[in-house]
Amino acid sequence: MRPSRRHPLLVPALLCALAVLAARPTDATEKKASDDGGADPGLNAQVVRLYEDAARATQQYEAGRLEAEAQRATALRLEGLLDRERRDISVLHEDLGRIARAQYRNGGDLPLTAQIILAGSPDQLMRGQQVFSQTNLAVNNAIEKSRRAEAKLAADEAKAAAAWQSLEKRNVELAGLKRGIEQQLEEARGQLQGQADASVAAGACRGAVRLDQPAVQVTGAWVAPVETYELSAGFGSGGSRWANRHTGQDFAVPIGTPVRAVGSGRVVRVSCGGAFGIEIVIEHAGGYYTQYAHLAAVTVDQGDRVAPGQWIGQSGTTGNSTGPHLHFEVRVTPELGSGVDPVPWLAARGVPLG
């Protein structure tokens, strides 16, 4: 399995929740589902609400994570300040030691009578008393400065401890919020896949959950079919799962991951039966076709025009599938058996995978 291409901040489950934030079942969609004998439109709405709840919780999680990062930066800044203050206090203590040693060597601890007896002259006595007075002043100043520094250090240590405690509390809250998001997504994916299986059994693709199209920010003419993924079975792979050889490239993604059209084109097939489960085939310029299979939901109909990066469905595990993934093919005809390796095909169009 090749390395995955990942977003830096959130796990794929959280990204998926954000991705479907705009999901809404429309009245027309619910009517189509009912007319075509597909999944219960009320269940459609329930699944979408689960995704919406997870998406809102994900926004809270991300806001909290950013706040936790700021709290951590504050705590680290306070720790750096404490280190400097400790070094300053150490220097002050060294200064006090030097002053005390100098005072001792200069006879600063002798009583005045002894200083008079030992002085060679009145001038020498006066100079000695001046030095003694200056030394005492320096000692007192150093002691006071040390006391202030130690008091500030104690206060800043309390601030740092409070900052770390606040960060720990925030992290506990975030962990609980993340667990809730994962539970909501797991429930939503289970219901979504259940609807997909019902749609396949009824031969009615319109029974799947449909999503409103969000604004698409795509700069190139071609994109990967999913944003966050791990590459699994590749083109030409052998094994007991396939009658001959694997005819496409598999992307290991969670159920419900938004699937995108890799380029502009026209939808020529939306079907719900057979080994591919729910599948979409798109015709592109130049005589190529792309297939997206084992889906849990579709957002397009046959004849629709699509743009690069446009959502066309959600991944699932319908049909002859051993687990959640997107099966993606590039073909020279709309039919199975005319496939080419999708990885170099996309790479030649500026979309390296892996």
Q: Using one digit for the tens of pLDDT, what is the confidence trace for 299-312? A: 888 999 999 999 99
Residue 290's pLDDT is what? 97
Last residue of a domain, one of 180, 206, 232: 206
Say if residues 248 and 339 touch (Cβ distance below 8 Å). yes
Mark whether 160 and 230 lie in a shared domain.
no
Domain identity same for 187 and 230: no
The residue type at 254: P
pLDDT in tens, 268-284: 999 887 888 899 999 99
Q: Which residue has the higher pLDDT, 53 or 298?
A: 298
Token pair in block for residue 32: 């189509």
Q: What is the model's pLDDT at position 189?
A: 75
- The Cα diameter of the chain in Å comes to 120
pLDDT in tens, 71-90: 888 888 888 887 887 887 78
Q: How many CB atoms lie within 10 A of CB 302?
A: 13
Higher pLDDT, 33 or 84: 84
In a domain, 41, yes or no: yes
Tens of pLDDT, residue by residue over 215-256, are: 667 788 999 999 889 998 888 776 555 455 788 999 999 988
Least Cα distance to 174 among 61, 89, 277 occurs for: 61
C-beta of residue 270 within 8 angstroms of C-beta of residue 301: yes
pLDDT value at 287 more than 80: yes
Residues pairing with 259 in the sheet:
313
Average pLDDT value for the chain: 74
Tell me: do 51 and 160 sit in the same domain.
Answer: yes
List the structure tokens of 136.
């005492």
Alpha-carbon gap, residue 113 to 104, rounded angstroms: 17
41: left (phi over 0), alpha (psi -120 to 50) or beta: alpha
Range of the domain at 158: 23-206
Please count the structural domains in the chain.
2
Q: Is residue 8 part of a domain?
A: no
Q: Are 132 and 270 in a shared domain?
A: no
pLDDT score for 123 = 54
- Let me know whether 343 and 224 are in one domain: yes
- At 327, the pLDDT band (50, 70, 90 cuts) reads very high
What residues does 222 pair with on adjacent strands?
Answer: none
How far is Cα 86 from Cα 157, in angstroms, rounded to an integer?
11
Highest mean pLDDT among 134-143, 322-331, 332-341: 322-331
Higher pLDDT: 25 or 95? It is 95
Of 158, 175, 206, which marks where a domain is finished? 206
**In terms of domains, do 122 and 201 share one?**
yes
Same domain, 183 and 255: no
| ∠ CA 284-289-294, rounded to 5° | 125
Residue 16 forms part of a structural domain? no
Domain boundary among 186, 206, 226: 206
Q: Which residue has the tokens 């995955």?
A: 4
The model carries a pTM of 0.57
- Per-residue model confidence as pLDDT tens digits over 84-129: 878 877 877 776 777 667 666 655 554 544 444 444 555 544 555 4
Give the H or E element holding residue 148. Answer: helix 122-202
Q: Is residue 169 part of a domain?
A: yes
User: What amino acid is encoded at 73 in this protein?
Assistant: A
Question: How many residues comprise the chain?
Answer: 354
User: Domain check: are 192 and 43 in the same one?
Assistant: yes
- CATH (domain of 97): 1.10.287.1490
Q: Is residue 200 located within the same domain as residue 238?
A: no
